[in-house]
Chains A and B, each alone.
Chain A
């Protein structure tokens, strides 16, 4: 299989709100493809159109050679969807949930039983298979959601924010599962708003913002789009809120972008030789002391900021973005 998923000019309007704007990309067979973007960027809407749960306003999505609008059942049979929220039937046990899903995907009784045993074993849920799912922990929910998506052995796995809301340990486990599934030969399309996740897992990344695909390449190539820009990381002492320094430093000459990343101030500049002394003097002038300063390689986040002009994690959502994020989940849409 050359391309597992082909998305051409995919567009979705919710009333007058343009949620996905003529998006084009291909997911190659057996690759991990990451769709990266902030909340409300149009990732979930795109995924829902690919999975045949939402009709595009225009454009096409082809899954394993089947046009999703023309042959939705054929396309759906080849996809395993792991949604962003664990949507299992809480009043039922894990085993009954999986039984039901197996039936819907057309597995006969014998195959169903065998596969259910296998996935419960694989995701270490065997001992709790008869417990009601509503009593499961978040991590168990996540594992069971992935198990349910794998039951019919799909060639393509679509994972919407697979580690969102999970503790670090469970998130690590889920990432390991994703890598293992890919090694087994499954194509994986994952959406994420976590840059490090896309960087770590995806072989190719598409950056989506306000419904538009801004760039598509390997994480390394995307990082190179910073075009000679270098990154500087500083931490200022005196217990002062680091955020307070952002507007101050952004005024300095030679500074292109300033933002907070993991508690440190990150500065993007084309000319660090000039920028470093300027920033040091500026901080000193405003009564701050630099605890740590280092020149670092540009990351995917730097590239994202360079491309979109904003941070993926800090910008509050606009009303349109809020609506865009809510709409795909607010009903049967």
Chain B
């Protein structure tokens, strides 16, 4: 097993290349999802603000 990770002396090169690429992939998935979530959140806030002027005046029941 350790022979596989050593890669006949090339282990440091091979694994750093694969490791960095994997890290960049994970980072990019996270960045894309975070951007999407943030945009949805802003849209939600915007929709909430748009609601305010249209809110009906509160009507109290006359006792």
Q: Do A and B bind each other?
A: no
